[in-house]
Structure 1
Amino acid sequence: MYTIAVVGLGGSGCEVIRSLMHAFKEADISNMQVKLMVVDRDTISEANLGKQALYNSESVGEFKSDVARAFIETQGYQVEAYSTDAARPAFVTKLATAAITFLCVDNVDARRKIIPALLLAQKTVLDVGSEGLAGSIRLYSSQYPCFYCTSWMYPKRKRPLCGIPGIPKNAEDCILIAACAISESNANNLQLIMEGDSYESVVVSQANELSEIHNLGIQIAPGDVTNTLQQVVSTPFHISGLVASYAVSLWCKHFMVSMCCNDINEFLENTWPKECLWMISTYNGLYIHALVLERQKDCSCNFSLPDTNQKESYNEVISKYINIPDFTVVVNQRIVYSHSLLPESASVVPSEGDLEGTVFIYANERLVYAKWIDYKWA
């Protein structure tokens, strides 16, 4: 049976599920052909209500995965629900049993762990996300650039992609950044910093400072704060639905062609478009831009690792070359151990169990080891 995984049950994840249910019925896809796997470790809070379509006031306190499972079952489809961290190596192995994964997580770190692991298992990933009045869809498979080829697209700071912007470009950005900074720095007692001042006035003050720092030439008023913070609650719901429905339509076209070929569990390259990135914006009407991305020449992903003709394991290579003067270990393009390139190299070479990502080992002026050793597949 064809299994579809949905990882992350926030605004985008909820809308993907709703769009899938609609697509199943419109395309007459039965519960004997497909089943779902839904994954999210979070419980539902009041802040989720109104932004995430599957939840209501009666759902508060329950696991998102349990509520999503109940909804899918009422639609007549089979589903497995997991309340766990999908990025755990042990669970990614389970996730790889799905033919395709709709990845709707809200942070880069989870993407960095999940996407390469699923590509190693020769699986397909549709990365779906929205932010403000815009969203994006990214298709990953063996024929497209990997996550690391286009990691420049993601912000270096660790924050939800659906959250506040990193560099302010307008008054709304300044307000959102200021409001988030106040919340993070005073999470335990917000009143301590605001004695004698209203919340709006504190946000206005910090937002105007940001406007001045970034030379935006914008003067922000208290009314701007109220309007912006009220609009932020409803905006993701609308955009998430639009982006999710477009992502599901891409999958549905592939699935229907594959089903006609009686090969729905295999990746059929000619059923997917040559584009692998779709940027969707509603700032000035509806705008959808499809992009073709190219793999970097020095890409370190599994599908273009340099050929070293190696047969030795990581530990065997370490033992064989550890005493070579130019012995160097590089993990995810960062030197972690070197006799010659680091002034104060670590006293112990990292063990295989401590490594994560792509590992290169150099010795005798050549590459002697190149491999993904992060996840072990059964």
Structure 2
Amino acid sequence: MSQPVMVSGTILAPSSTMATRWQYLDNVRRNSGPFTDPDVFDASEAAATNMEQINVFGAGGLGCEILKNLALSGFKKIHVIDMDTIDVSNLNRQFLFRQSDVGESKAEVAAKFVEKRVKGVSITPHNCKIQDKDEDFYMQFTLVICGLDSIEARRWINSTLVDLVDMNNPDSFKPLIDGGTEGFKGQSRVIYPTMTSCIECQLDMHAPRAAVPLCTLATIPRQPEHCIEWAHIMAWEQEKPFPKLDNDDPEHITWLYKKALARAAEFNITGVTYSLTQGVVKNIIPAIASTNAIIAASCCNEAFKIATNANPALGGEENYMMYSGNDSIYTYTFKHEKKDDCPVCGNMAKNLDVDPNLTLQEFIESLAARPEAQLKKPSIRAEGRTLYMQSPESLRLQTAPNLEKKVGDLVGNGDEIGVTDPSLGRVDFKFRLKFTSEFVKAETNGHAK
């Protein structure tokens, strides 16, 4: 026989447990507060029911906390994407997983756990990359929440949601709530695609990791990270144990770990571990459970505010919240301005300083390090012609001779180029080239030959 349940000093029959579970939530959903906008806030029973029908999509390293918070906040339809499997190192902070779950899909295990604990919620797991889903998949959601562990994935989902917007279709507008942590620091932000500052507008806040000189890696490594980078960059290239490095393949990471461990022993360096190897190769920042909990709570709080209009969400005068727990507990909110020359959501080409004496190959390589670009495998078009295409193979071979030509021989000072990158979806980055050194063009049809 089932036992009665004690809630706030009152004994309740099991049949009434579900009704009382949401009583404190309903106090917020059905009562206006000091910051509630009376023109949009709806306190009716129907409005509360509508919130339960909102389809929410979430992904990434903050997933455990976000899933738990969403389920306990009254969201009933949730999809989650995570391509990773559970590792022993996850168990200290990702509380939805147990020792017996090691090796299983994170998305699937987390979904089952939350569904079991919070009755009535439906979570659909997807064990894949976010890039594996098409636009129709993302069109089904009302909100998108990301706790991704790489800037590349953030840029891809950001550009995808911006590209979805159709001014004639209000349902194409998908608010993006993004959270991220780095040790004791973190941030959450709300992005209204095409309306407010997007992730690409804020790219300069995510500077690429400083590179270690090759001479240090090859001759005088001083840190365990140097040994790992040596295995990653030099040993792998020399020995080619597998046709192509897959950062998500445990066998590949294990090979790098053993190589780095031997290198460290040679120079009496300690601290090389499998987890550190994985972190260096994938550029993963160590996570702290308390920071994850705070940032996930902030993200889900914004989702609740957007869904209920109970309070103004980030995205207007203030759209970015920063948290620091290094010395104490400190939060700060501010407005990150939308950039007119943002290559994703802006309406004008972004100026890009370039030395015209660089070869096209050197220019392409420099795009990876530029804070305003940070592209990995870009293809480049100029007005009326293609300068270089990474794929398909036929176009790559056809345009490959341009790689040895100087930029100034291919385009003119002030010309506009379009740049695409496979990691950023279908968005075409537009840059206006500004030559930074003296260059005299041949007097032909406006372009050097």
Q: After TM superposition, is the score higher than 0.5?
A: yes
Q: 2:317, 2:335 within 8 Å by CA — same for their partners in 1?
A: yes
Q: 1:53, 1:237 within 8 Å by CA — same for their partners in 2?
A: no
Report SS of the residue matched to 1:68.
helix
For the pair 1:182 / 2:233, whether they are aligned, the reply is no
Aligned partner of 1:283 among 316, 326, 339 = 326
Q: 2:85, 2:103 within 8 Å by CA — same for their partners in 1?
A: yes
Aligned-partner residue type, residue 187 of structure 1: Y
For the pair 1:55 / 2:63, whether they are aligned, the reply is no
Counterpart for residue 69 of structure 1: 111
Counterpart for residue 39 of structure 1: 81
Return the offset for 1:291: 1.1
Q: 1:247 to 1:166 in 2, by over 3 A?
A: farther
Counterpart for residue 313 of structure 1: none
Counterpart for residue 289 of structure 2: 237
For the pair 1:13 / 2:63, whether they are aligned, the reply is yes
Return the offset for 1:166: 8.4
Q: 1:341 to 1:53 in 2, by over 3 A?
A: same
Aligned-partner residue type, residue 144 of structure 2: T
Aligned-partner residue type, residue 201 of structure 2: C
Report SS of the residue matched to 1:149.
coil
Return the offset for 1:95: 2.6
Counterpart for residue 36 of structure 2: none
Q: Deviations over 1:192-248 (max 9, x none)?
A: 224477654889xxxxxxxxxxxxxxxxxxxxxxxxxxxx97x61111001111221
Return the offset for 1:340: 9.5
Larger gyration radius, structure 1 or structure 2: 2
Alpha-carbon distance in 1 for matches of 2:419, 2:228: 40
Q: 2:419, 2:430 within 8 Å by CA — same for their partners in 1?
A: no
Counterpart for residue 184 of structure 2: 133
Q: Deviations over 1:171-204 (max 9, x none)?
A: xxxxxx944443453523344224477654889x
Q: 1:92 to 1:287 in 2, by over 3 A?
A: farther
For the pair 1:295 / 2:335, whether they are aligned, the reply is no
The count of aligned residue pairs is 277
Aligned-partner residue type, residue 81 of structure 1: P
Report SS of the residue matched to 1:139.
strand
Aligned partner of 2:308 among 256, 277, 286 = 256
Q: Which has the higher mean CA deviation after the structures are superposed, 289-298 or 336-345?
A: 336-345
Aligned-partner residue type, residue 292 of structure 1: K
Structure 1's unaligned 5+ residue stretches are 158-164, 168-176, 204-231, 261-268, 307-317, 331-335, 366-378
Alpha-carbon distance in 1 for matches of 2:206, 2:431: 27
Counterpart for residue 376 of structure 1: none
Aligned partner of 2:123 among 57, 61, 79 = 79
Q: 2:58, 2:145 within 8 Å by CA — same for their partners in 1?
A: yes
Q: 1:201 to 1:129 in 2, by over 3 A?
A: closer
Return the offset for 1:51: 2.2
Q: Deviations over 1:69-114 (max 9, x none)?
A: 10232112012110111023x4454133211111111111111111
Alignment of 1:1-378 (within 5 A): 1-8=53-60, 10=61, 12-24=62-74, 31=76, 35-74=77-116, 75-76=118-119, 77-88=121-132, 90-121=133-164, 122-141=173-192, 142-157=194-209, 178-184=223-229, 185=231, 186-195=256-265, 200=270, 236-257=288-309, 273-302=316-345, 304=347, 321-322=384-385, 341-343=407-409, 356-360=426-430
Alpha-carbon distance in 2 for matches of 1:353, 1:280: 32
Alpha-carbon distance in 2 for matches of 1:143, 1:152: 19
Q: 1:202 to 1:150 in 2, by over 3 A?
A: closer
Return the offset for 1:123: 1.2
Return the offset for 1:319: 12
Alpha-carbon distance in 2 for matches of 1:58, 1:71: 13
TM-score normalized with structure 1 length:
0.62
Return the offset for 1:293: 1.1
Q: 1:353 to 1:304 in 2, by over 3 A?
A: closer
Alpha-carbon distance in 1 for matches of 2:272, 2:154: 35
Counterpart for residue 238 of structure 2: none
Q: 1:254, 1:271 within 8 Å by CA — same for their partners in 2?
A: no
Q: Deviations over 1:319-373 (max 9, x none)?
A: 9945xxxx9899xxxxx9899954368xxx99999784225599x99xxxxxxxx
TM-score normalized with structure 2 length:
0.53
Percent of aligned pairs with the same residue?
Answer: 19
Return the offset for 1:67: 0.6
Report SS of the residue matched to 2:298.
helix
Q: Deviations over 1:111-149 (max 9, x none)?
A: 111111112222111111111111011211132112221
Aligned-partner residue type, residue 208 of structure 2: K
Q: 1:19, 1:248 within 8 Å by CA — same for their partners in 2?
A: yes
Return the offset for 1:278: 0.5
Aligned-partner residue type, residue 117 of structure 1: T
Alpha-carbon distance in 2 for matches of 1:319, 1:280: 42
Alpha-carbon distance in 1 for matches of 2:207, 2:226: 17
